[in-house]
Structure 1
Amino acid sequence: MIPSLFICHGSPLLALDNSAYTQFLTETGERFKPKAIVMFSAHWEQKITTISFVEGTLQTIYDFGGFPDDLYQLTYPAQGSPELAERLEERFRLHGIESRRDYSRGLDHGSWVFLRHMYPEADIPIVSVSVNPFLTPREQLDIGLALKGLGEEDILVIGSGTTVHNFNEIKFNQPYPEQWAVEFDDWIEDKIVNRDMEALLQYEQMAPHARRAVPRAEHFVPLFHAYGSSYGAEKPKSIFKGYQFGTFSHICFEM
């Protein structure tokens, strides 16, 4: 059985980094050997839950600008899996969640920049699922719950985003985290580890500095998708905690 993961994908430069965080990603990939991956990336937004039905090699999407040329030479030629996509579609249908198909979507940087460290051979099929930041937290959780149990088949569900993501709060040359960002993550960590789902669903009202940490929810909601897909499994745990640029969180969870 494979747990679900919430992974902070960080800056696109993560793909070129050699750090404690990338070492963690490498070690995590060595721990889990899935047959396939279901990816919820913060960088694919759709109003209706959309599933990638790509057959063959997935395109590497460079959805960013102004970075070193070396970054645009990298590729991550993983394969899609229409068979798994069809299973996800049926899961969503049975749970009353409307979905659509996409036959061309590749892997945006919310996916491939960290997968290069986890699974450098790009030999694991991947199906991407879009996010909608405008749904309620409970609706976000329900999307994850529709996929509960895939880990028992060695299918890895990953929510890719970050807990603290506010471009207006970046401190580029600051090597230590802002206290308010740590306090927000500490609150989120406590609720996840202790499975206080009712509090987590009300994070906007209850968590300290919530509006500052999450000015827009697209990077936060993959946490609910990952959590829901493993809800009821072993006790969740925080498996990495770190920060970049003073506020960008790299906290990751195994659920």
Structure 2
Amino acid sequence: MPTLFVGHGSPMNAIEENQFVEEWKHIGSRIPEPKAILAVSAHWYTKDTRIMTEETASTIYDMYGFPKELYEIVYNAKGAPHFARLAKSMISADVVEDNSWGYDHGTWSVLHRMYPEADIPVFQLSVDRNATVEQHYKIGQELSGLREQGVLIFGSGNVVHNLSRVNWEMEGGYSWAEEFDDYIIENILARRDEAVLDYEKAGSSAQLAFPILDHFAPLLYVLGAAKEEDEITVFNKACVLGSLSMTGYLFES
């Protein structure tokens, strides 16, 4: 299976039709059908690494002030206990089984467009707020073998995510947002993973790109799970509302 990072942006992408959603749909129809999906969402941000292991999970509406239509979406994919416990065994760090969460909007807003029938089992892995960039990347490396088991490793976040600087009247991105996004693209395509991990080398743009790692970290899991021989596709290259990047990455063997 490939490994995939999606810039999920606004939850409204779950119900609106736009260029970003069209690309998600295209990827869902083009790549091999997964046996299961391991989702690493920016919105399950915990004090340690946690994993869902139950047969079912609820749809979580972890966003406020949106239209009623958004809260009526139920993404009722089954869980994947077998693959979840396999994933747990592959990670050298301590991992806590935790079924108190569910499919948050970082996961379901994208999968609702990629796999609207919700007929592929899904399990989530949390982002440890105390982990370093190297530790996030290492977990991705350790999970890479799931790809050969038919599991799609799917990270959902945003390379640039600074809500304090969002400009609702702006269609594109601030120059610093574009600069940081370009820095990440350039180094991923050049297979300089160490430069992505050391993102502060991007300069002043890195200080504005995100206040915390929650939305950037899912990319590190996907990057860690990628292989040297993978073909890399950059899609949805765009910044919106000034300070959000929608850029995504697909790594295919």
**What TM-score, normalized to structure 2?**
0.94
Q: 1:42 — aligned with what?
A: 42
Tell me by how many angstroms 1:218 deviates. 0.7
CA distance in 1 between counterparts of 2:229 and 2:100 reads 34
CA distance in 2, matches of 1:207, 1:162: 19
Aligned residue number for residue 156 of structure 1: 152
* Residue 215 (1) aligns with residue 211 (2): yes
Counterpart residue type for residue 247 of structure 1: S
2:237 is aligned, of 238, 241, 250, to 241
**Counterpart Cα distance in 2 of 1:250 and 1:225:** 17
Structure 2 residue identity aligned to 1:214: F
For structure 2, the residue ranges without an aligned partner over 5 or more in a row are none
Q: Distance in 1 between matches of 2:105 and 2:123?
A: 15
Q: Distance in 1 between matches of 2:77 and 2:3?
A: 20
Contact in 1 for aligned 2:193/2:223 (Cα 8 Å): no
Match of 1:80 in 2: 79
What secondary structure is seen at the aligned counterpart in 2 of 1:18? coil
Q: Out of 89, 95, 110, which is 1:99 matched to?
A: 95
Q: Cα distance, 1:247 vs. partner?
A: 2.2
Secondary structure at 2:44 match in 1: strand
* Counterpart for residue 9 of structure 2: 10
Does structure 2 retain, via aligned residues, the 8 Å contact 1:52–1:103? yes
Please give the secondary structure, in 1, of the residue aligned with 2:187: helix
Distance 2:214 2:137 in 1: 14
- Determine the structure 2 residue equivalent to 1:110: 106
Measure the CA separation in 2 of the matches of 1:248 and 1:133: 20
The aligned residue for residue 69 of structure 1 is: 68
Aligned equivalent of 2:198, options 202, 209, 217 = 202
Partner amino acid, structure 2, of 1:4: T
Residues in 2 aligned to 1:233 and 1:55: alpha-carbon distance in whole angstroms: 34
Sequence identity, in percent? 37
Q: Would the alpha carbon gap of residues 206 and 6 (structure 1) be closer, same or farther in structure 2, given more than 3 Å must change? A: same
Q: Could you report, residue by residue, the CA deviation over 1:110-166 in whole angstroms, capped at 9, with x for unpaired residues?
A: 100111110000000011000023321111111101101222232100111001100
Aligned-residue offset at 1:244: 2.4
Q: Secondary structure at the match of 1:147?
A: helix
RMSD: 1.3
Give, in whole Å, the separation in 2 of the partners of 1:16 and 1:243.
Answer: 20
Checking the alignment, whether the CA contact within 8 Å between 1:187 and 1:208 is kept in structure 2 is no
Measure, in 2, the Cα distance between the counterparts of 1:198 and 1:248: 23
Which amino acid is the alignment partner of residue 11 of structure 2?
P
* SS of structure 1 residue aligned to 2:144: coil
How many Å apart are 1:252 and its aligned residue? 0.1
Q: 1:140 aligns with which of 119, 129, 136?
A: 136
Q: Do the aligned partners of residues 232 and 149 (structure 1) sit closer, same or farther apart at CA in structure 2, a change above 3 Å counting?
A: farther
The SS at the match of 2:155 is strand
Number of residues paired by the alignment?
Answer: 250
CA contact (8 A) 1:133 1:221 kept: no
- TM-score for the superposition, normalised by structure 1: 0.94
Q: Check if 1:232 corresponds to 2:231.
A: no
Which letter does structure 1 place at the counterpart of 2:50?
Answer: T
The code of the aligned residue for 2:12 comes to L
SS, match of residue 29 in structure 1: helix
Question: Offset of 1:207 from its aligned partner?
Answer: 4.6
**3-state SS of 2:143 partner:** coil
Distance in 2 (CA, whole Å) between partners of 1:112 and 1:26 is 13
Identify the residue that residue 161 of structure 2 maps to in structure 1.
165
Report what 1:52 is aligned to.
52
The one-letter code of the counterpart of 1:54 is E
Runs of 4+ off more than 3 Å: 205-208
Q: Which moved more, 1:239-248 or 1:177-186?
A: 239-248
In structure 2, C-alpha distance between the alignment counterparts of 1:13 and 1:38, rounded to whole Å: 23
